[in-house]
Amino acid sequence: MSTSKLEKSAWQSYFDHVSKTVDGKLAEIEVDSLTLGSQIQAEWVPFLGITYDKKNDLIEILLDGLDHMIRKPCDVYIEQNGVALSSVEIIDADNVKQIIKLRDPLMLPAH
């Protein structure tokens, strides 16, 4: 696995690409901060996409039943396993770390 930092100028196009290629993935969102500790916001729900709105300086993670918004993001790190995206770590202006982990759903055998 390799981790790399995304430059802010690439966020919008990268997230647009990710949103088109993550069909069927599940996501977990973990929020870490000194004041709140570590909390799970969403646990392995269908991942619908991720967008960056330049005008409002906002990253939105779209999940089935939840829109998770991160205002004033400062840094974005991506972790890939080969070419597949496995996680996105976003650090906002308040130094809150939001980690979006992705995985394929468990495929059960047909009966």
Tokens at 97, concatenated: 């770390």
Q: What is the model's pLDDT at position 92?
A: 97
Q: What is the model's pLDDT at position 36?
A: 83
90 within a domain of the structure (yes/no): yes
H/E stretch holding 102 reads strand 97-103
- Give me the number of domains the chain comprises: 1
The pTM of this model reads 0.90
**Among residues 77, 98, 53, which one has the least CA distance to residue 1?**
77
16 within a domain of the structure (yes/no): yes
- The answer to whether residue 96 scores a pLDDT higher than 90 is yes
108 within a domain of the structure (yes/no): no
24: containing domain: 2-103
- The answer to whether residue 101 scores a pLDDT higher than 80 is yes
45 within a domain of the structure (yes/no): yes
111 within a domain of the structure (yes/no): no
**Residue % of the chain over a pLDDT of 70:** 95
Summary mean pLDDT of the chain: 92
Q: Say which CATH number the domain at 21 has.
A: 2.30.29
110 within a domain of the structure (yes/no): no
